[in-house]
Chain A
Amino acid sequence: MDKRSPLALYRSMLLIRAVEERLALSHQQGLVHGACHTYVGQESVAAGVCAQLADADAVFSTHRGHGHALAKGMQPLRLVAELYGREAGCSGGRGGSMHLFEPAIGMMGTSGIVGPCILQAVGAAYAFRLARLPHVGVAFFGDGAVNNGAFHEGLNMAAIWKLPVLFVCENNQFATEVPFASVAGNPSVAARGAAYRIPSFEIDGNDALAVEQAAREAVEAARLGNGPTLLECRTYRTRPHAEGMGDFTYRTREEVERWKALCPIARLRQHLLDLGMATGPDLDAMAAMAAAEAEAAHVAAVASPFPLASSALAHVLAPASATPPEPQPPTRPARTLSFMKATHEALAEAMARDPRIFVLGEGIGQRGGNFATTSGLHAIHGPERLRDTPICERGFVGLACGAAMAGARPVVDFMFADFLLDAVGEILNQVAKMHYMSSGRLRMPVLLRGCIGIGHSAATHHSGSYYSMYAHFPGLRVAVPSSPADAMGLLRTALAGDDPVLFLEHRELLNIKGPVPEGSHALPFGKAAVVREGSHVTVVALALMVHRALHACSVLAEEGISVELIDPRTVAPLDLQTILASVAKTGRLLVVDEDFAHCGIGAEIAAGVANAGFDDLDAPIRRLNGAASPTPYSPTLESALVPDADAIARAIRDLCAE
């Protein structure tokens, strides 16, 4: 049967209804451990849209996503078992109702935070365009999300690049429990799409046939390269926001009853009967079958075991096999390259080898990047792989997330790390968690690169370090190289790996030159460099501080103080072993860190050494950090913030004298 046929839609809607009613009951019985947002009353939207989609088309959904998952083809058992927290669940018990993943059938996740799915659908569409695949990305979202920046940034990017994406707004009139009319400057969602020159249609979402027809036209247009469509489906959820919540503080019983009478399933049933496409008993039998299927899923889900507690930490990062082996010593003599040239070479090489890699950023196209990071690459690879973006960091990081989920390997060139703060929610809530929430099925090779560091009177919006903040979160790798060779080696590893990486380049180091090995040397993450060997004191430093500490080491060597200087190179993972081995030798540790001290990487290193190297310590662990202040502009003020070689030498001297 054509899944777009009215009978197929009807069956799809019946299954959604039956499973939701079973889950509502299970929620009362305590089988659902967390939230359960049912889709009752909106079944026509998921059925009508998903009827147009193949497994390869990617659906990104909301907290109210059971219907989308089932309509996209998820087995009811996989859904029900996930809500029961069982091993047989579609996310292996990692997600629950709000994180339902089945990538094999293009179910790219429901989400507890709704805006990002719009950006991810745009990203998947971008990946399909890049790979010359005829697939489409579909974002389901509610009326609440259209007031979120993600909606506007996503629609704009889809419009300018004419991406194959379908935006489906299920306007059920309440953002959780806030009436949409009360928070919308323009209560027409379709009108907002038109503002971005996206074909936008307001349709009766409870009319399965109307939805099916609109979605069919939109998906066909997308596959033909005619760009995105926005469908505003007016509908209503007839159960509370979430099971167990009160329903009549923000809407009336009468209103709910009125909408129940407009039930999309009843409406389609009447249509089928009117046209003689089925008899009443036929349709009753279909309903009974759907109920039986839901009940069977429940029984099987209850029988499924809970996942083992020991598996709780699986899938935080991609399997280790994805990380490259220990570097081989270069066979040919080193060349001298600048930091910038070294990373450029690594990127150019990777892009030539792997067509899945593309770069997003402001001015990284023809212009070649603010710091010449992509110089000349646009001429080779064209605008699709060197994509100049609007100034919407959240938008294009969210796009990168969706593109990675759909198989591309995005590089986000964000210029200054300060700018990236606009995208922190996308990075931490989406990019970093996606591999885990999909129980290891989605790989997230998102490379986020750009500048950190104080200098050149860049003032406070172009000078932050931030690596400690990102290192705090599981699921991310954070590299902070200090030399051209390290930058090249770590960037190669980042470009070849399957995990999200923040690659942070100190602006004051971009022009330094240093020896770089010939050949494709790659450096593993989590392997520190002993920059200089010594015996009296261990100094750990990153990025620019490595260079200043080196200077201090030379001064101190003349005074008879022998410093061992260690550059961790990556702060996540952090190579504590090398630091511990050094402290075992010297008994003294100073961490020099341009970033703020409070809750910083220096504190993490100090705690690790105090924990595992306590008996090696002959003096307290000391930190020397950048001052806790926004970065001022004037050179005298600016330099007062950052430890210089004199301050480092002083700190080392004091520590050795203790």
Chain B
Amino acid sequence: MPSEIQLPRLGWSMEEGRFLGWLVRPGERVAAGQPLFTVEGDKATQDVEASASGRLVPAPDAPAEGETVAVGRVLGWLLADGEAAPTPANPGTPIAPAEPARADATAPVPPSLASPAAPISPVHAFPASPRARRAARARGVDLASLSPSGTAGRIRERDVLAATPAPRAHPQSRARTDWREEPLSPARRTIAARLSHGHPRPVPVTLNLRCDASRLVALRMAFKVRAATDPAEPAPTLNDILVHLVGIALGQHPVLTASWAGDHLRFPRVIHVGFAVDTPDGLRVPVLRDVCNTPLKELAAQARAMAGAARSGRLAPADTEGACFTVTNLGALGIESFTPVVNPPESAILGVGAVVREAVPLEDGGFAALDRMTLSLTFDHRVLDGAPAARFLQSLRSLIEHPPVQPPPSPSHP
């Protein structure tokens, strides 16, 4: 009798998996126990062994390599000599469900009762109307970050608009619609679902890292000296230089720019970075455009103009749109480290602490006085894990400690 090959359930919560390919050529004979195909589940990638001996005949509608399919899907058969593949192929004999008693899966589970072993809840806590979904897609708003305001408990278009009140008239803000979408891997989906259980919103985690800011401070000083002699060359602020370096680091770690879109990740094609400005009316976050490709001098000019506009209340709404990452700096106020709050739909924000001169032990047993500062990165754990976030911070530290910025020429003395 033909032996069915089905996509196995590798873990109790696995509903689908990604078929990564056969390990045996179609038509070839395999022995029971021989690795037959590879599947990526929500936790791991695994080679699946043949459950019987026979000749491999993939199903006519077998998934392509890389395709995500439901658990239980018939992938093919192992046939004894003289046997023919049965038809039709799918659906196969049911594989037992993950939880036998799931008849009332739609019934709400009180959050207090939710344990790590409980079934994964939907990513969205609230349903959204089709129109709201479209608006959220267009504006890059994460529906999971919204609450419904109507009587039906459904997120409506107006709820999405309220989350992004500014009209988009500024031509530069067109960059926001320019996204690349990336499907979630089963693993990412599972992680996100687990993390957001009872938290259908960003799952913030903050990492702190101290770095040596001596060269940064020296660089800044060199710019200031030059500015003193040449008013046409105003000095970039420490923050300007940091944003410039952040742009480089983001280019190396684009996952920090991704945003959560429910069933996929969304990557901007151009990296715009917001920077927090304290104004008499409260916090404003103007956005610097295309930081990876904008020279430091221009970036500084942009930032100067925008900070000025922000402080005088003249910031255009479009100037605050389109960022995929934010830098906030409380160093001027003496704060050494803090927990910045992610600005949805962004997934990460960098907090910059004060530059503090402190004694640092040297390898030879002595101490040196160094200018140090603390970087605090808050990121959405649904989008990325701790290690990649840490690697981003390491890259940034390395950029800060060895800034790839040409210092201005020393002023010439007559």
Interface residues as binary, A626-658 with B (CB distance below 8 Å gives 1, 0 otherwise): 000000000000000000000000000010011
**How near does chain B come to A542, taking the closest CB pair, in angstroms?**
26
Q: Is the CB of B154 within 8 A of A619?
A: yes
Contact of A658 with B150 at beta-carbon distance under 8 Å, contacts A587-B157, A618-B156, A619-B156 already known: yes
Q: In B118-177, which residues have CB < 8 Å from any A CB?
A: 129-134, 150-152, 154, 156-158
Interface centre among B129, B150, B156 (most CB of A within 10 A): B129
The complex places the Cα of A616 from the Cα of B134 at a distance, in Å, of: 8
Contact of A657 with B150 at beta-carbon distance under 8 Å, contacts A587-B157, A618-B156, A619-B156 already known: yes
The complex places the Cα of A657 from the Cα of B132 at a distance, in Å, of: 15
Contacts of A354 in B (CB 8 A): none
Q: Is the CB of A619 within 8 A of B152?
A: yes
Q: Is the CB of A617 within 8 A of B129?
A: yes
Of the residues A617, A657, A658, contact of B130 by C-beta under 8 Å = A617
Contacts of B134 in A (CB 8 A): 615-616
**How near does chain B come to A324, taking the closest CB pair, in angstroms?**
37
Q: Is the CB of A618 within 8 A of B157?
A: yes
Q: Is the CB of B151 within 8 A of A619?
A: no
Q: Which residue of chain B lies nearest to A614 when distances are taken between CB atoms in the complex?
A: B130
Of the residues B131, B151, B152, B158, contact of A617 by C-beta under 8 Å = B131
Contacts of A616 in B (CB 8 A): 130-131, 134
Q: Is the CB of B133 within 8 A of A615?
A: yes
Q: Is the CB of A615 within 8 A of B131?
A: yes
Contacts of B133 in A (CB 8 A): 615
**How near does chain B come to A648, taking the closest CB pair, in angstroms?**
18
Contacts of B156 in A (CB 8 A): 587, 618-619, 658
Range, interface on chain B: 10 to 19
The complex places the Cα of A658 from the Cα of B128 at a distance, in Å, of: 11
Q: Which residue of chain A lies nearest to B156 when distances are taken between CB atoms in the complex?
A: A618
Contacts of A614 in B (CB 8 A): 130
The complex places the Cα of A617 from the Cα of B127 at a distance, in Å, of: 13
The complex places the Cα of A657 from the Cα of B156 at a distance, in Å, of: 10
Q: Which residue of chain B lies nearest to A654 when distances are taken between CB atoms in the complex?
A: B151
Q: In B201-236, which residues have CB < 8 Å from any A CB?
A: none
Q: Which residue of chain A lies nearest to B155 when distances are taken between CB atoms in the complex?
A: A618
The complex places the Cα of A615 from the Cα of B130 at a distance, in Å, of: 5
The complex places the Cα of A615 from the Cα of B151 at a distance, in Å, of: 20
Q: Which residue of chain A lies nearest to B148 when distances are taken between CB atoms in the complex?
A: A658
Contacts of B152 in A (CB 8 A): 619, 658
Q: Is the CB of A618 within 8 A of B151?
A: no
**How near does chain B come to A613, taking the closest CB pair, in angstroms?**
9
The complex places the Cα of A618 from the Cα of B133 at a distance, in Å, of: 9
**How near does chain B come to A500, taking the closest CB pair, in angstroms?**
38
The complex places the Cα of A587 from the Cα of B158 at a distance, in Å, of: 11
Contacts of A657 in B (CB 8 A): 150-151
**How near does chain B come to A350, taking the closest CB pair, in angstroms?**
46
Interface centre among A615, A616, A654 (most CB of B within 10 A): A615
The complex places the Cα of A284 from the Cα of B132 at a distance, in Å, of: 84
Q: Which residue of chain A lies nearest to B159 when distances are taken between CB atoms in the complex?
A: A618
The complex places the Cα of A619 from the Cα of B150 at a distance, in Å, of: 10
Q: In B311-368, which residues have CB < 8 Å from any A CB?
A: none
Q: In B374-395, which residues have CB < 8 Å from any A CB?
A: none
Contacts of A615 in B (CB 8 A): 130-131, 133-134
**How near does chain A come to B263, taking the closest CB pair, in angstroms?**
16
Contacts of A617 in B (CB 8 A): 129-131
Q: Which residue of chain A lies nearest to B157 when distances are taken between CB atoms in the complex?
A: A618
The complex places the Cα of A142 from the Cα of B229 at a distance, in Å, of: 116
Q: Which residue of chain B lies nearest to A613 when distances are taken between CB atoms in the complex?
A: B130
Contacts of B130 in A (CB 8 A): 614-618
Q: Which residue of chain A lies nearest to B134 when distances are taken between CB atoms in the complex?
A: A615
**How near does chain B come to A482, taking the closest CB pair, in angstroms?**
29
**How near does chain B come to A315, taking the closest CB pair, in angstroms?**
38
Contacts of B150 in A (CB 8 A): 619, 657-658
The complex places the Cα of A657 from the Cα of B152 at a distance, in Å, of: 8
Q: Which residue of chain A lies nearest to B129 when distances are taken between CB atoms in the complex?
A: A618
Q: Which residue of chain A lies nearest to B153 when distances are taken between CB atoms in the complex?
A: A658
The complex places the Cα of A587 from the Cα of B155 at a distance, in Å, of: 13
Contacts of B158 in A (CB 8 A): 618
**How near does chain A come to B223, taking the closest CB pair, in angstroms?**
51
Contacts of A619 in B (CB 8 A): 129, 150, 152, 154, 156
Q: Which residue of chain B lies nearest to A619 when distances are taken between CB atoms in the complex?
A: B129
Q: Is the CB of A587 within 8 A of B131?
A: yes
Q: In A578-631, which residues have CB < 8 Å from any B CB?
A: 587, 614-619
**How near does chain A come to B363, taking the closest CB pair, in angstroms?**
63
The complex places the Cα of A627 from the Cα of B136 at a distance, in Å, of: 39
The complex places the Cα of A658 from the Cα of B152 at a distance, in Å, of: 5
The complex places the Cα of A614 from the Cα of B134 at a distance, in Å, of: 10
Contacts of A654 in B (CB 8 A): 151
**How near does chain A come to B275, taking the closest CB pair, in angstroms?**
35
Contacts of A587 in B (CB 8 A): 129, 131, 156-157
The complex places the Cα of A615 from the Cα of B156 at a distance, in Å, of: 12
Interface residues as binary, A519-555 with B (CB distance below 8 Å gives 1, 0 otherwise): 0000000000000000000000000000000000000
Interface residues as binary, A560-587 with B (CB distance below 8 Å gives 1, 0 otherwise): 0000000000000000000000000001
Interface residues as binary, B287-302 with A (CB distance below 8 Å gives 1, 0 otherwise): 0000000000000000
Q: Is the CB of A658 within 8 A of B151?
A: yes
Q: Which residue of chain A lies nearest to B151 when distances are taken between CB atoms in the complex?
A: A657
Contacts of B129 in A (CB 8 A): 587, 617-619
Contact of A658 with B157 at beta-carbon distance under 8 Å, contacts A615-B130, A616-B130, A618-B131 already known: no
Q: In A406-438, which residues have CB < 8 Å from any B CB?
A: none
Q: Which residue of chain B lies nearest to A587 when distances are taken between CB atoms in the complex?
A: B131
**How near does chain A come to B153, taking the closest CB pair, in angstroms?**
9
The complex places the Cα of A619 from the Cα of B133 at a distance, in Å, of: 12
The complex places the Cα of A617 from the Cα of B133 at a distance, in Å, of: 10
Interface residues as binary, A192-228 with B (CB distance below 8 Å gives 1, 0 otherwise): 0000000000000000000000000000000000000
Contacts of B151 in A (CB 8 A): 654, 657-658
The complex places the Cα of A36 from the Cα of B330 at a distance, in Å, of: 93
The complex places the Cα of A305 from the Cα of B42 at a distance, in Å, of: 58
Contacts of A658 in B (CB 8 A): 150-152, 154, 156
The complex places the Cα of A92 from the Cα of B8 at a distance, in Å, of: 56
Q: Which residue of chain A lies nearest to B152 when distances are taken between CB atoms in the complex?
A: A658
Q: Which residue of chain A lies nearest to B128 when distances are taken between CB atoms in the complex?
A: A618
The complex places the Cα of A654 from the Cα of B154 at a distance, in Å, of: 14
The complex places the Cα of A171 from the Cα of B241 at a distance, in Å, of: 106
The complex places the Cα of A600 from the Cα of B334 at a distance, in Å, of: 71
Contacts of A618 in B (CB 8 A): 129-132, 156-158
Q: Which residue of chain B lies nearest to A586 when distances are taken between CB atoms in the complex?
A: B131
Contacts of B131 in A (CB 8 A): 587, 615-618
Contacts of B132 in A (CB 8 A): 618
The complex places the Cα of A306 from the Cα of B162 at a distance, in Å, of: 61
**How near does chain B come to A618, taking the closest CB pair, in angstroms?**
4
The complex places the Cα of A587 from the Cα of B133 at a distance, in Å, of: 12
The complex places the Cα of A617 from the Cα of B152 at a distance, in Å, of: 14
Q: Which residue of chain A lies nearest to B137 when distances are taken between CB atoms in the complex?
A: A615
**How near does chain B come to A218, taking the closest CB pair, in angstroms?**
64
The complex places the Cα of A587 from the Cα of B159 at a distance, in Å, of: 13
The complex places the Cα of A1 from the Cα of B133 at a distance, in Å, of: 81
The complex places the Cα of A432 from the Cα of B130 at a distance, in Å, of: 39
Q: Which residue of chain B lies nearest to A617 when distances are taken between CB atoms in the complex?
A: B130
The complex places the Cα of A616 from the Cα of B138 at a distance, in Å, of: 13
The complex places the Cα of A654 from the Cα of B150 at a distance, in Å, of: 10
**How near does chain A come to B318, taking the closest CB pair, in angstroms?**
25
Q: List 25 A-B contacts (CB under 8 A).
A: A587-B129, A587-B131, A587-B157, A614-B130, A615-B130, A615-B131, A615-B133, A615-B134, A616-B131, A616-B134, A617-B129, A617-B130, A617-B131, A618-B129, A618-B130, A618-B156, A618-B157, A618-B158, A619-B150, A619-B154, A619-B156, A657-B150, A658-B150, A658-B152, A658-B154
The 7 A-B residue pairs with the shortest CB-CB distance in the complex, in nearest-first order: A618-B131, A658-B152, A618-B129, A615-B134, A587-B131, A657-B151, A618-B157
Given A617-B130, A657-B151, A658-B152, 6 more contacts at CB 8 Å? A614-B130, A616-B131, A618-B129, A618-B132, A618-B156, A619-B150
A interface list, Cβ under 8 A from B: 587, 614-619, 654, 657-658
